[in-house]
Amino acid sequence: MSPLPGTPRGMYFEEFEPGQFITSPGRTITESDIVAFAGLTGDYNQIHTDEEYSKKAGFGKRVAHGLLGLSIASGLAVRTGILEETVMAFREINDWKFVKPIFIGDTIHVEMQVIETKALRRLGGGSVVIELKVINQNDEAVMKGTWNTLVVSKPQT
């Protein structure tokens, strides 16, 4: 059954509880992703864009931009549907760590756990703090940290 027109598909603030665990679908990182991100940001660092240079540098092959991985993680979090039409704002990223590189051809997904909620009635919702891990196809965390989002409250009936 699909939602009624005008009814958000995501979760309202009151529906989030510490301990909830959500997993996103996966997404494979492509060369096109890296090229497009380099063009969008102007970050043409050779470890991302030059195969021959990268063979001799740190990881032995090209790596995705760390911020590309973070951006894709944001999209994967949205694809879970929990914030669809109910998120007010993305408020903070805390304690973010780039643990391992993401390579062309890696498939990543996001594992999220709600760790804290705080009502902010004056804003018409509340703060939801989510511990987030970006996991590759080898079940290794490649990034992790916490995100703080503002989510709308359930409408009064």
pLDDT at 9: 80
pTM above 0.85, yes or no: yes
pLDDT at 156: 82
Calculate mean pLDDT across residues 45-57: 94
- Residues 55-100 pLDDT 10s: 999 899 999 999 999 999 999 999 999 999 899 999 999 999 999 9
Q: What is the mean pLDDT of the chain?
A: 93
* pLDDT band at residue 157 using 50, 70 and 90 as cut-offs: confident
Domains of the chain, start order: 13-152 (3.10.129.10)
4, pLDDT greater than 80:
no
- Residues 91-131 pLDDT 10s: 999 999 999 999 999 999 999 999 999 999 999 999 999 99
Calculate mean pLDDT across residues 48-58: 92
Three-class secondary structure assignment of the chain: CCCCCCCCCCCCHHHCCCCCEEECCCEECCHHHHHHHHHHHCCCCHHHHCHHHHHHCCCCCCECCHHHHHHHHHHHHHHCCCCCCCEEEEEEEEEEEECCCCECCCEEEEEEEEEEEEEEHHHCEEEEEEEEEEECCCCCEEEEEEEEEEEECCCCC
10, pLDDT greater than 70:
yes
User: Of the ranges 6-10, 25-29, 97-101, which one carries the lowest mean pLDDT score?
Assistant: 6-10
